[in-house]
Amino acid sequence: MPTLRGRHAVSLLGVGLLAAAALHHLDEVERVRTATGPLLAFALDGGVAVGLIAAGRRIADRGLSPTEEWRVARWTGFGTAFTVAAFSATVGVRVLEGRPLVEPVFPMLVAAGVGGLGGAVAGYYAVRQAADARRARDAVRTVSLVNHLLRHDLRNDLSTIHGYADLLAADDGSDHAAVVASKADEGLERIEAASAVADALLGDADRGRTDLVATVRNVLSGVDGDRSVTVETDLPETAPVAANDGVRAIVHNLVENAAEHGGPDVTVRVAVRLTDDGVALVVADDGPGLPPAARDRLSAPDERRDEAAVGSGEGVLGDSPDGTVSGLDLVAALTEAYDGSLDVGESEHGGARFAVTLPHAPVESAGSDT
């Protein structure tokens, strides 16, 4: 025996309303001795009932689970009951007022059908929205799980490589083992940095006390060897912000963008300023500047920036061929994750200027200022 599902309940409601409409209008034909009016009325209330039957068929085609189908059916029943109750209330008021009632069955059948059809549509979209939200939560959990698994497994593997490199260096004294150990250390640092970025974007970050000045100095130490780039700094002794190690990606991408796309012999000016609103990281250069389209996009609110990415065929963090917008979009996403603000403009030397303001670290917060 087939199991009754929600789609069957919706269709059965339509069949019941269609049968009630047919019986009512057949009786009207006999009473008024004409078929024109009753047929027109049947086309209206019967048509709505047929719409409910079709809605049941459409639900069957959508591949919903039994639970989801019954949720749509409950919405349908609620819509029908609500409209019938509302119509009945108006009829009751007219009765209390002593007014004559002129054929209330027909408008009640129309109201019941329209309410049921509206409930079915609302129920379907409610189910679909819940399914989309559930898939989004599952995706976030999956990414978070993969992030932690990769962090754990790769860290263990690189630590093992580093250990064997130390043994090789002790045995033959060559520089090759030292290079392997150095690369293993770099890999470990990259894993920690990538994990911090992922935690921040997924909302899993434990935002403690991170010294922005120490991070800037660490990033700039890797730029000093590039003779085509001149770096000028204006840094206080310390500037703790409420963030995690992912803030390094903000500094790295801004400095890398200026160094790589500022042209030959570019000068990059990096400053950290303490303000009442937070800690401001300002990176400016004297290169050609940022394209207007990219500037407008990065300056847009988070929702509009995501819409622009989707409309242009890019991901939320962008995926331009040269990686320029992708890195800057990561800056924008991380700044948003840290409850900060990003200001994009033109530097006084004609190049690009980025100002990222991050919240002060609470005095009692845990973390490192080094």
Check whether residue 331 and residue 223 sit in a common domain.
yes
Segment 12-16 long-range contacts (CB within 8 Å, at least 24 positions apart): 12/56, 13/52, 13/76, 13/77, 13/80, 13/116, 14/49, 14/50, 14/51, 14/52, 14/53, 14/54, 14/55, 14/56, 14/113, 14/116, 15/49, 15/53
Check whether residue 147 and residue 219 sit in a common domain.
no
The total number of structural domains in the chain stands at 2
Q: How many CB atoms lie within 10 A of CB 318?
A: 23
Check whether residue 270 and residue 353 sit in a common domain.
yes
Check whether residue 200 and residue 254 sit in a common domain.
no
Of 204, 237, 256, the residue at which a domain comes to its end is: 204
Phi and psi torsions of 227, nearest 5°: -70, -15
Check whether residue 180 and residue 142 sit in a common domain.
yes
Check whether residue 198 and residue 224 sit in a common domain.
no
Amino acid type, 318: G
Q: Angle at which helices 324-337 and 302-311 pack, to 10 degrees?
A: 150
Return d(Cα 247, Cα 202) in angstroms, integer.
14
Return d(Cα 271, Cα 187) in angstroms, integer.
28
Check whether residue 163 and residue 242 sit in a common domain.
no
CATH number at residue 326: 3.30.565.10
Of 204, 236, 262, the residue at which a domain comes to its end is: 204
Q: What is the pLDDT of residues 53-70, one digit of tens each?
A: 999 999 988 888 899 999
Check whether residue 144 and residue 240 sit in a common domain.
no
Q: How many CB atoms lie within 10 A of CB 322?
A: 9
- pLDDT tens track, the chain, 370 positions: 568 899 999 999 999 999 999 999 898 888 878 888 889 999 999 999 999 999 999 998 888 889 999 999 999 999 999 999 999 999 888 888 888 777 788 899 999 999 999 999 999 999 999 988 888 877 777 666 666 666 666 667 777 777 777 777 666 666 667 777 777 776 777 777 777 777 777 666 667 789 999 999 988 887 755 557 888 999 999 999 998 888 888 998 898 888 877 777 788 999 999 988 899 999 998 888 777 777 676 766 554 444 444 343 343 344 444 434 467 888 888 888 889 999 988 888 888 899 999 999 887 655 555 4
Q: Smallest Cα–Cα separation from 250: which of 181, 335, 315?
A: 335
Check whether residue 322 and residue 361 sit in a common domain.
yes
Check whether residue 9 and residue 103 sit in a common domain.
yes
Q: Which residues does residue 242 pair with via DSSP β-bridges, in sequence order?
A: 209
Check whether residue 275 and residue 168 sit in a common domain.
no
Of 139, 174, 204, the residue at which a domain comes to its end is: 204
Return d(Cα 17, Cα 14) in angstroms, integer.
5
Check whether residue 75 and residue 168 sit in a common domain.
yes
Domain containing 352: what range? 208-368
